[in-house]
Every structure is written in structure tokens, then in C-alpha cells.
């Protein structure tokens, strides 16, 4: 039987946020059907999918029933248990595999994997108690940041420690669960690499992307990153090696710190398309979402050529505080593309959409994207 899942087949997606929505848009454009499963209804992905199933990720019978209605299962959300991935895998291919998900969904496991295989990462330690935290701080030094090992994203479950005296206060905030403590990195840039690996190990990447965070949430991404070519080459090579080590099938993102003294350190690995790659929808021959579709369906990977320099800014719910943003003014800037995720309730810090601007240089693309967002309020 061919391992290729052809147009006309149905893709099953666990998770139904904006990443699933953009995957569904890419998939439907290529003639696939899309079913999504998540514990909520009226979701960003559900709005554009052919079927939206409401079930808990831990409801293995519901996962099996879902898998029976699709030809392949993939993820847009990594906090799905290996049991759920395994239940789906009894019925259809699951790509990426439950084991790749297992490593990358929990910070302590991910750091252990990276260290074991010699990938450069931030000085860090897994801690389970205040005593262990104090010992770890003595070893790695301060300032440091304590992060919950599981279910952390967009800076949720993260607290800085200026000195060892902060240990008790910070442990009280997130303690009673496994955590990772890391030395705060003095970085010149935050970079990410988004890449795809196909069924036979075929590899394609979108180069290095330059990222700026605000309050731990991604604010702006620009591509190509304004860093030396050898830095980009090394970041891509590390990403490739991580994917090979995981026998990965699908799209994955590696986030890096480039230290002030020029070293690349892996911050984290996301087993799915990533917010920093949203510009690919408008700027590249193949978007990260089409690439995810191609990889998990066993199709040849698409060209990742970037047609023009691009910058993306996130649109958070904060922009709605004084009413509906002024879309018309922002869209009056040529080469600005608006993406909204169909979320009905704006909340401070909630990702509602993004703007991508294309230009003749990265600097101008950044200026345009920021100017467009400023015009919204
Ligand atoms: P994370 O959820 O781990 O990706 O963290 C979100 C953001 O917090 C990162 O992109 C950085 O801007 C910041 N951050 C996290 N860990 C560190 C660290 N060890 N040193 C410096 N900044 C960090």
C-alpha cells in the first residue's frame, strides 16, 4: 500500500487553534478534507474544517473514533498525551510520532534529550523541590528563570530570579510540580528555524527568522534574519540534526538564543508550525502549513524560496480595548496582509491575528508591519 496520502483524503488534527486553522486553509486549498478535535467548540480551526469534534484529549475512545474517520493524524498542539497518540496510531499513521511529541512537550525531557545528544542549550537543571532549586541555583548561577516543565507557552509559568534569595518566593508561585531552572541568557538575538522532514528523511527549511518578544509573547518576526550567514547555517544544521535524531515527520520549529559572544543555544523545540513562521503564508513559495500537510501526507516537500523580505507582527486582544481596530487604515498600506483567526472574544494577551508586510528589505518590512499595527488604534 502506498504510504502517500493523496488529495481527496482527510487530515485529522488534534488541537483547533490558529495553527490548525491555517493548516486547514492550506489543506482545503489542495483538495483535502480536514477534521479537528479539541475540548472546545466554535474554534478557529473548527470554523474552516469539514468537521469539528468536541472531546477531551484524554478520552481515548473518542480519539480512536476520530482516527477512524481520517487518513492521517497530526497535531497543532503538543500537549496531547502519548496514550492519545498511541490510540490514534492503532488506526492510522500519526505524524509526527507520539515519541517525538513525548520528548518535546515537556521542558525537562526536552532539555535532557538536547543535552544527551550534545546540542547546545542554556545552562539548566530539572528541579522538583525548593531544596533542589537552591542547589541548582548554586550550580548554574543567577539571574535565572524558573519554568514549569509542562504546559508552558508564551511565558506562562515562568518567573525570574535575580538572586538565590528569590528561590522561596518563586518556588511558591509555581512549585509543587516539576520545573526547569535556567540561567538567564545575555542574548543579542532570538532566532528560530522552521523546517520540515518528510517520510524518507527529505529536509527543507525556511532559513533563520529573527524574533522579538514582548512580555514573553512573540511580538515581531522578520525574515531573512539579519545575522551572519555562518550563524544561520549552524542554526539550520542543528535543526536538521534534531529532526534526524527524533526521526521526525512533519514541521518543527527550533527557537535559539544567539549570545552576545556569538554562540547559538537552543531555547526550545516546538513539534509543529510556529508563530514565527506565519510570514511564510504570504512570502514563500510554500507556506509552513502547506509544508506540514505535504510532510505528513508523504508528498514531496515544496520549495521554501522566499519571494520578498517580510516581517510579521502579532495582533493581541489588547488592540480591541477601545473597540474594533481600524482595519481600513492599516490595509491602506500596500503589501500589508491581514490574518484574523476568527476568535470572537478579544482578551488582553490573546493572539487574535497577525499582519505580514512585504518589502524590498527586512528593515522596511519591519517598519511597514509596525506602522500598519500602529494605525489600528
Ligand atoms: P520560552 O517560553 O521558554 O520560549 O520563553 C519565552 C521568552 O522568554 C523567550 O523567547 C525569551 O525572550 C525569554 N526567555 C526565556 N528563557 C530565557 C532565558 N533563559 N534567558 C533569557 N531570556 C529568556
Pick from 55, 25, 26: which is nearest to 39 by CA?
55
Q: What is the pLDDT of residues 7-25, one digit of tens each?
A: 999 999 999 999 999 999 9
The whole-chain average pLDDT of the chain stands at: 96
Which ligand 1 atom minimizes the distance to the CA of 122? 19
Confidence of residue 1 (pLDDT cuts 50, 70, 90): very low
Which ligand 1 atom minimizes the distance to the CA of 255? 4
Pick from 15, 89, 109: which is nearest to 56 by CA?
15
By residue count, the chain amounts to: 377
Q: Is the distance from CB of 9 to CB of 32 less than 8 angstroms?
A: yes
Three-state DSSP class for 273?
coil
Distance, C-alpha 218 to centroid of its chain: 10
Give the pLDDT of residue 255.
Answer: 98
Give the rounded percent of residues in the chain with a pLDDT score beyond 90: 93
Confidence of residue 79 (pLDDT cuts 50, 70, 90): confident
Confidence of residue 190 (pLDDT cuts 50, 70, 90): very high
Three-state DSSP class for 102?
helix
Residue nearest to atom 8 of ligand 1 (CA): 216
Residue with cell string 500598519: 372
pLDDT at 115 > cutoff 90: yes
The separation between the first and the last C-alpha atoms of the chain, rounded to the nearest angstrom, is 55
Give the pLDDT of residue 173.
Answer: 87
Whole-number Å distance, alpha carbon 133 to ligand 1 midpoint, is: 18
Instruction: List, chain by chain if needed, residues with CB within 6 Å of any ligand 1 atom.
Output: 122, 145, 147, 152, 155, 182, 184-185, 190, 213, 216, 255, 267-268
Pocket test for ligand 1, best of 267, 269, 276, 314 (most atoms within 8 A of CB): 267
Which has the minimum average pLDDT: 65-79, 164-178, 339-353?
164-178
Alpha helices in the chain (DSSP H): 18-29, 60-68, 82-89, 98-104, 107-116, 130-140, 167-174, 229-245, 280-283, 288-297, 327-331, 362-374
Three-state DSSP class for 89?
helix
Alpha helices in 202-334 (DSSP H): 229-245, 280-283, 288-297, 327-331
Give the whole-angstrom CA distance, residue 356 versus residue 362. Answer: 12
When comparing pLDDT for 153 and 181, which is higher?
Answer: 181
Whole-number Å distance, alpha carbon 224 to ligand 1 midpoint, is: 21
Q: What is the pLDDT of residues 332-353, one digit of tens each?
A: 999 999 999 999 999 999 999 9
Q: List, edge to edge, every strand of the sheet that includes 351-358.
A: 264-270, 250-259, 187-197, 203-214, 217-223, 310-316, 351-358, 336-340
Give the pLDDT of residue 155.
Answer: 64
336 pairs with which residues across the strands? 357
Q: Is the distance from CB of 174 to CB of 148 less than 8 angstroms?
A: yes
Pocket test for ligand 1, best of 110, 141, 145 (most atoms within 8 A of CB): 145
Q: Which three cell numbers stand for residue 202?
A: 527529505
Residue nearest to atom 1 of ligand 1 (CA): 155
Give the pLDDT of residue 157.
Answer: 78
Which ligand 1 atom minimizes the distance to the CA of 218? 10
pLDDT at 176 > cutoff 90: no
Residue nearest to atom 11 of ligand 1 (CA): 216
Pairing of strands 10-14, 33-38: parallel
Contacts of 88 (CB under 8 A, 6+ apart): 12, 14, 63, 64, 66, 67, 73, 94
Amino acid at each position: 500500500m502506498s504510504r502517500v496520502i493523496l488529495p481527496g483524503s482527510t487530515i485529522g488534527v488534534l488541537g483547533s487553534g490558529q495553527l490548525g486553522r491555517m493548516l486547514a486553509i492550506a489543506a482545503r486549498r489542495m483538495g483535502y478534507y480536514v477534521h479537528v478535535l479539541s475540548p472546545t467548540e466554535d474554534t478557529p480551526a473548527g470554523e474552516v474544517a469539514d468537521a469539528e469534534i468536541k472531546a477531551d484529549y484524554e478520552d481515548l475512545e473518542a480519539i480512536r473514533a476520530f482516527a477512524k474517520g481520517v487518513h492521517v493524524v497530526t497535531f497543532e498542539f503538543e500537549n496531547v498525551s502519548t496514550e492519545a497518540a498511541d490510540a490514534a496510531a492503532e488506526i492510522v499513521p500519526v505524524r509526527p510520532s507520539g515519541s517525538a511529541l513525548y520528548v518535546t512537550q515537556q521542558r525537562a525531557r526536552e532539555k535532557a534529550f538536547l543535552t544527551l545528544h550534545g546540542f547546545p542549550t542554556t545552562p539548566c537543571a530539572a528541579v522538583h523541590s525548593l531544596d533542589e532549586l537552591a542547589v541548582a541555583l548554586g550550580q548554574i548561577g543567577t539571574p535565572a528563570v524558573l519554568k514549569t516543565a509542562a504546559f508552558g507557552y508564551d511565558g506562562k509559568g515562568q518567573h525570574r530570579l535575580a538572586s538565590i534569595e528569590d528561590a522561596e518566593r518563586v518556588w511558591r508561585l509555581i512549585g509543587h510540580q516539576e520545573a526547569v531552572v535556567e540561567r538567564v541568557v545575555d542574548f543579542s538575538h532570538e532566532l528560530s528555524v522552521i523546517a520540515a522532514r518528510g517520510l524518507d528523511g527529505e529536509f527543507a527549511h525556511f532559513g533563520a527568522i529573527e524574533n522579538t518578544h514582548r512580555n514573553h509573547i512573540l511580538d515581531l518576526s522578520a525574515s531573512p534574519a539579519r545575522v551572519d550567514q555562518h550563524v544561520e547555517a549552524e542554526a539550520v544544521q542543528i535543526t536538521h540534526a534534531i529532526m534526524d535524531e527524533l526521526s521526525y515527520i512533519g514541521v518543527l520549529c527550533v527557537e535559539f538564543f544567539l549570545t552576545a559572544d556569538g554562540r547559538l543555544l537552543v531555547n526550545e523545540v516546538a513539534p509543529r508550525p510556529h508563530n514565527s513562521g506565519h510570514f511564510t503564508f504570504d512570502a514563500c513559495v510554500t507556506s509552513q502549513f502547506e509544508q506540514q500537510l505535504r510532510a505528513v501526507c508523504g508528498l514531496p516537500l515544496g520549495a521554501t524560496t522566499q519571494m520578498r523580505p517580510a516581517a510579521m507582527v502579532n495582533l493581541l486582544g489588547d488592540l480591541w480595548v477601545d473597540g474594533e481596530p481600524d482595519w481600513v487604515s492599516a490595509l491602506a498600506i500596500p503589501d500589508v496582509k491581514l490574518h484574523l483567526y476568527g476568535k470572537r472574544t478579544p482578551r488582553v494577551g490573546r493572539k487574535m491575528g497577525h499582519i505580514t508586510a512585504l518589502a524590498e528589505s527586512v528593515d522596511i518590512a519591519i517598519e511597514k508591519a509596525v506602522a500598519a499595527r500602529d494605525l489600528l488604534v
